[in-house]
Each structure stands twice: as C-alpha cells, then as structure tokens.
Amino acid sequence: MPIRLSGLASGLDTEAIVGALVSAYSFKKDKYVKAQTKLSWKQDAWKSLNSKVYKLYTDVGNMRYSSNYAIKKTSASDNTKAKITASGKAIIGTQTLEIKQLAKTAFVTGGKLDNSVKGETKLSELGFNTNASTGDASIQIRTGTSTTNIIVDKSTTVDEFVNKLNGAGIQASFDQENHRIFLSGKKPGLDGNFDVTANNDKGFEALTKLGLLSDSEVTRLTDEAAQKFLNKTFKFTLDGEGETEQHLSRTEDGFKNLLQLIKASKADLTSEDEETRTSAEQTVGEGGTYYKIAKYLEENEEYAVDWANITEEQMDTIAAKMYESASYDVYAKDENATDIIRAVNQIRDAYITLNSENSTDEERANAQMALENNKAYKEYIEATFGSKDSEDSDSYVQFWTQSDNKELMESVGYHISMVGAITYENLELTPNAKKVEGQDAIMILNNETYTSNSNSLTVNGLTIEAFAETTEAINITVSNDTDGLYDKIKDFLTSYNSLINEMQKLYNADSAKDYEPLTDDEKAEMSETEIEKWEQKIKDSLLRRDTNLSSLISTFTMGMMKTYEINGERYNWAKFGVGTLGTIYAEKNENYAYHINGDSEDSATSGREDKLRAAIAKDPDSVIEFMKQLTTDLYGELDKKMKSTTVRSVYTVYNDKEMASEYSNYSDLIKTWTDRVKDMEDSYYKKFAAMEKALATLQGNSSSISSLLGGG
C-alpha cells in the first residue's frame, strides 16, 4: 500500500481531491450496499409474514378433521372423583361410572440406614460379611418380563448394589440425604410390578442390612401359597406283632395322588392283562410298595376308605386329614428338595421338547403328560419366580428354557424352606421396607369393566381421568357443546382476519420511492429518531404491490368465498350470518375481514341475528362438514403455494431462494466495487505522493541556490 502524504509540499487537500476523483466509483458501491440492505429488510419482512401464513396453514390443516371439533361437553355428578371430557364420537345422554381401583406404580421405600452410610460404603461396613464357607449373597429381581439374579459380597458398595438393581429391570436410587434406598417399576400399573427376593440365606441377610426386606416380601413368605408344597411326614403304626411305625412324606396334593394310585391299582388286581395285574400286585398287593398304607387306611376308623367306591370329594377330604395330622420334620425337608429338583427338571425338559422341531409325537405326548403331572409346581413357580415371554403374552416358555436349572431349584427350594421355617419353626420376620404394589386402574362404565395402567381411560369418545375411588356410581351427562364449536369457528376467523388485514396493509402501503437506506455519512448528519423514521418508511413499503403477496391474498379471499353442498343443501358463510363489511363500511385495509352477526364483541355486527349459534344448536354436523370442506380446500390451495420450486423452499410463500441468490450477487458486486475504489484511491495517492516528492526536491534545490547566491 503506497504511503499517503497529504499536501505537505503542495499545500493541497489531497484526501478531498482523491475522494472527488473516485466519487463515481464510491457512488456505485454505495448503490449496491443500499440495494442489499433493502433486500435484507425485504427478506425479514417476508420471513415474518411467512411464519404467520405457515401457522394458519397448520391450523387449517388440523381443521380438516372431525377430531378437531369439540362439539360435545360433559358434566358429572361428582367432579371430585374424576374429570371427564368428550370428543365428537361421544354418545349424547347419561352414563354411569364407578372407579373401583386407582392405578399405582410399584414402589419400595427402603428402611433408614445409619447416617454414616454413603454411596461408597461397603456392605461389610453394614455388618454383612461373606467368605468361602458362607458363599456370596444371591438376590432375585423379577419383573413382568424378566427374572434376573444378582450376586453381592462384603466388598460390594451401596452404589454398586444400586447399579446392579438398575441393570435388572427396575429403577433404583440411594438418597444419601435421607439414607434410604428407593425402588420403583419402570412402567406404571400392573405391568411395572416387581419383586426383590432372596435366593439364599446371605441374600436374605443382605436385603435386611440394606433396609430392603419389604412388608410385601414378608407377606409372600407367610401366606398360604407355598404351604401346600411343604412335604409333611405322615406317621402310622400297623396293628400286629413286630410292626413298626411307618413314615410317608407328602404334600396335600401328593396324598391325593397316592390315594388315586392305590384306587387304580386295587381295580387292576383283577385285570385280565397279566402285566397290568403284576404291576398292581407290586403296588398294593401283599408286600407291595403301598400295601401297608392301603391296609392302614382301610382299617383306620378315622379314614375308612372304600376303595371300590371312593369319590374325588372323599379323596380330597382324606388327603386333607392326612396332611393336617402329618408333621414337618427333617425327613420332610429332604423330600421337599427332592420334589423340587424333580419337578423343575421335568417341567424344563418338557418345554424344551415341545419347542423343538425335532421332537417326535411320542416325545411331545410325554412332555405334555409331564407338564400335567407337575401342574401345581409349574403354576406356583411361574407365579412366584417366573416372567412372561412378553407384555402381550401369557406364555412362560422363555423363562423355562433359558433359566439356569440349578439357580431356579435353589431359589424355589430356599423360598419354600423359609415358608416352612416360618410356619413350623417359629421363624419371625420383621420387614424394614414398605412396598406399594403396582396395580392397574379398574373402572366400570355402563356396567362394563375396563382396566388401564394409568388413571386415564378413553372409551367410545369419553376420556376419564380418575382422581379417587367411588362408593357409588357417578352420573355422566354428555351434550352438544354449542359454545365450544362457536368459539372454534370464531378463533379461526380471528386468526384469518388478523393475517388478511396485515397482508392488505402491506400490499397497500404508501410509496417510498424517494427513500433509500442511509449510508454511514448520511446517518452522521441525522438524529436517532430521524434515522428510525426514515428506515421505517422504507420497511413499511417493501411489499407494496408485490405480485407474490397479491397472489397470496387472492388465494385466501377466493378460498373463503366458496359454496359447498351438504346433504343436498348449499352452504357458504352467508348461510351462517358471517360475511365481510364491504369496502364502504370496513376500516381501511380490512374489507376482506369476516364478521359474525350477533357477536357481542364485534361492534359492527353485534346487533344482528346470530345465525351461526342457531345453526350450531340445530344442526352441528352440517356446520362441521362445511368447516371441514372449506378448510380442506383452503389447505390444498395453500399447500400448492408452499411447495418447493427452483426459486422457493418448501413451506415458503415467497421466493426465498431467489432472494438469497440476489443477496449473494450484491455481496460480489459490493466487493468488486470496493476493490475498484481502493485501487483507484491507491493509484491517485501514488501520483500525489510522487508530485509531493518532486515539489519537495524542487523546493530543496531552490533553497540551496539561494544560499549560494547569498540569499537569506
């Protein structure tokens, strides 16, 4: 860049002279800067208007559907129990509602731990220890669709334990401020229910130390569900010299199965088939496996069995008596473990066989028989330990085929042994956590029962939000909502009027042909208020007589003027007492706005007959159909306007692509002319610098000559 010297030798105002010399180039550059600024303002004006057009376009799109029109309203005899809303599908009339049960999310509030307990606290610091002899703690987490066993030991921290729970299908957290562990289901209602239970003694101890032995778990261990699977030893002594006391370990169902076997074998003693007869002899014949038992039952007055005529009901009674008089002892405990191992293995093998494509018909038949023979154990294990294949399935196939047999046997065995210890060995359990069981809401609408995993239910157009259970039926009345439909139409017209009036104002704006954006030099000579007024004048006129705007106004106005045939009758806005005021009576730029006759908020039409409200009260369906057809057509026309083209983007009513390209072109032109101005300035300054240098040299020479000639 050349050095710019300003008249040091010549005394000339070099900057002013150079400015004048390049003024034609500067004017060209400023012209493009002003044009780009004006274009930028126009883009902003269109963006603002486009967002309003798009909003109305979206609203109109929704109004094409019946679901958008809330033409029904409800009232309830007790609003404290439920909130009821109605859609257009709701049946007019009175219905009854009973709320039998509210939905709840399963939740466990853990017992309070010591104030010193933190997330990094190890279980050993809570008094829980494991070693090689005791083994680790095994804890089961069961949800509706998963059963997961987690292992913890003395080095496990509270946070690590919580993380294991979170990975097992439930939500867990440790509240360090309140020193409690909290658990909850991942889903509301019955589907989100879960159980956290111990698989062994150490698991039970860990839950207790962590404050998670819930009242729900204690109830599971003390109810009667598992007691029927507790083997008890039935002891009896046969009369006769040398006979000793006999022991028979069975569950109540086992005793009945024994009675059925003896009855069948007694009948088979007279069979003509030698093999059948031989088998019967080995079972109930003298010296047979159950000979002494059958003899005892026949001879004992308390049981008095007539094998030939015994009924199912009699067998139930005798089996119950035998079970009640039996004792729970070590021999029975051993039998429990044996029965569980046998049942689990047989059930799992049966499921694998039934789900294998290579199984033969005979194998499948044997598998079905195994499931039937172990039906009681199967149902109990599924209900207490199992998880379904999916939320929509009642099958437990995956649970049986994918479970670890050993783990499952230990879990079931430990649970039943705990039930036995509580029932017969006076083991006392004190829960230290509170559980809220997950449950679905149960509602009875018009004598039909419905369930929901939340307290909200939608049935045939009625949406019920339950707050509390009822002691008597609530009466629900559904009627047409005249005000709701009227307000919907009025809101639409209000939005339409606001937009059409704005577009009219923009299109009919005063001309600002003598106004251009100001340069920095021009702004320097004006006040802030003057600048603001000047620029606003230009901005107000940017869309004046714009062809795109004119086309858009035409789309709206023509769409609102259409007539539609409904059930053989023709409808337009005038049919409902809705129309424009016309050019004479309307305010400036508002001659396309629609007014509702009888609208109390509209001073221009409030005194006229309210035909719209009357039409809604008499025939709401026709009013809705008119609105649907009108908005469908209007939406379609706007959709055409908002489709993408080479000059505009999708959902845009102005040529945004074209304007962006034009803006970019201005940037290029401004740069070009800025460079030209700079180049010309540099050239002139270079010449003036040379002139100044020459003058300075000349002046220096003149001074030297004067000195030589004796000049002063």
Task: Give how far the C-alpha of residue 514 lies from the chain's centroid of Cα atoms, to the nearest Å.
Answer: 59
As a whole number of angstroms, the distance between CA 520 and CA 34 comes to: 11
State the pLDDT at residue 30.
80
Q: Residue 433: CA atoms inside 13 Å, Cβ hemisphere, count?
A: 28
Structure tokens that stand for 478 in this block? 């559904």
Confidence of residue 682 (pLDDT cuts 50, 70, 90): confident
Crossing angle of the two packed helices 611-618 and 620-641, in degrees rounded to 10: 110
498: pLDDT strictly greater than 50: yes
Tell which phi-psi region holds residue 546, choosing left (phi > 0), alpha (psi between -120 and 50) or beta: beta
Confidence of residue 341 (pLDDT cuts 50, 70, 90): very high
The 3-class SS string of 104-136 reads: ECCEEECCCCCCCCCCCCEHHHHCCCCCCCCCC
**183 within 8 A of 108, measured Cβ to Cβ:** yes
> Using one digit for the tens of pLDDT, what is the confidence trace for 641-668?
999 899 999 999 999 999 999 999 988 8
Mean pLDDT value across residues 667-692: 77
Mean pLDDT value across residues 154-176: 96
4: pLDDT strictly greater than 60: no
Confidence of residue 32 (pLDDT cuts 50, 70, 90): confident
State the pLDDT at residue 301.
87
The full DSSP string for 368-412 is HHHHHHTHHHHHHHHHHH---SSTT----HHHHHHS-HHHHHHHH
3: pLDDT strictly greater than 60: no
**Could you give the percent of the chain with pLDDT greater than 90?**
69
The amino acid sitting at 516 is E
State the pLDDT at residue 29.
80
> Using one digit for the tens of pLDDT, what is the confidence trace for 228-241?
889 999 988 876 66
**378 within 8 A of 368, measured Cβ to Cβ:** no
**Which range, of 61-75, 110-124, 623-637, averages the lowest pLDDT?**
61-75
Mean pLDDT value across residues 465-483: 93
Q: How many CB atoms lie within 10 A of CB 517?
A: 19
As a whole number of angstroms, the distance between CA 383 and CA 400 comes to: 13
Please state the pTM of the whole predicted model.
Answer: 0.62
> Using one digit for the tens of pLDDT, what is the confidence trace for 506-562?
999 999 988 999 988 889 999 999 999 999 999 999 999 999 999 999 999 999 999
**Strand locations in 541-663, DSSP E?**
564-566, 569-571, 578-580, 594-596
State the pLDDT at residue 1.
47
Crossing angle of the two packed helices 312-325 and 252-268, in degrees rounded to 10: 130
State the pLDDT at residue 12.
62
As a whole number of angstroms, the distance between CA 50 and CA 5 comes to: 54
609: pLDDT strictly greater than 60: yes
Confidence of residue 711 (pLDDT cuts 50, 70, 90): low
DSSP 183: E
> Using one digit for the tens of pLDDT, what is the confidence trace for 240-264?
666 678 888 889 889 999 999 999 9
As a whole number of angstroms, the distance between CA 33 and CA 39 comes to: 10
Q: What is the dihedral of CA 701, 702, 707, 711, to 10 degrees?
A: 180
**Which range, of 16-25, 347-356, 449-458, averages the lowest pLDDT?**
16-25
Confidence of residue 583 (pLDDT cuts 50, 70, 90): confident
Mean pLDDT value across residues 48-66: 94
